[in-house]
Structure 1
Amino acid sequence: MMVERKNNEILVRFSAGTKAYKIRSILDYLRYEELTSKSQATEKAIDILTKESKTVRWEKIKKEIGLDD
């Protein structure tokens, strides 16, 4: 593995023999960290949004399968 810093980026190189699926999960986590690093959302706001979206989705599912009587 080789780590190199260029301008505003960090490059990480792995040998071709490294299993890609193992690297992918780490990269997914790092991408999440990158995307959320400047977020100002609070845990409470995220919880409220999650609850609202689940409620809306459940209502749609109930209607689709005929449970909205």
Structure 2
Amino acid sequence: MIVERQNNEIIVRFSAGTKASKIQSILDYLRYEELTAKSIATEKELDALLKVAKKGRLNRIRKETGLDG
């Protein structure tokens, strides 16, 4: 693995033999950290948002499968 800093970026290089799925999991976590680094949302607010998102998802699935009425 090689780590380089260029301008305002960090570049990481892996050998071709490294499992892509493991690298993707790490990249997903780093992206999450990048996106939430400046968040001021509380855990309570995030739980409420998640509840709304899940409810909307269930309603969409019911509609798509014809189970809504």
TM range (shorter): 0.7 to 0.9
TM-score (norm 2): 0.75
Within the alignment, does 1:46 sit opposite 2:46 as a pair?
yes
RMSD: 1.9
Within the alignment, does 1:27 sit opposite 2:32 as a pair?
no
Shift of 1:51: 1.6
**How many residues were matched structurally?**
66
The CA deviation string for residues 10-65 of structure 1, in whole angstroms up to 9 with x for no partner, is: 11011111111111111111111111111121111011111223334445528x41
Runs of 4+ more than 6 Å apart:
none
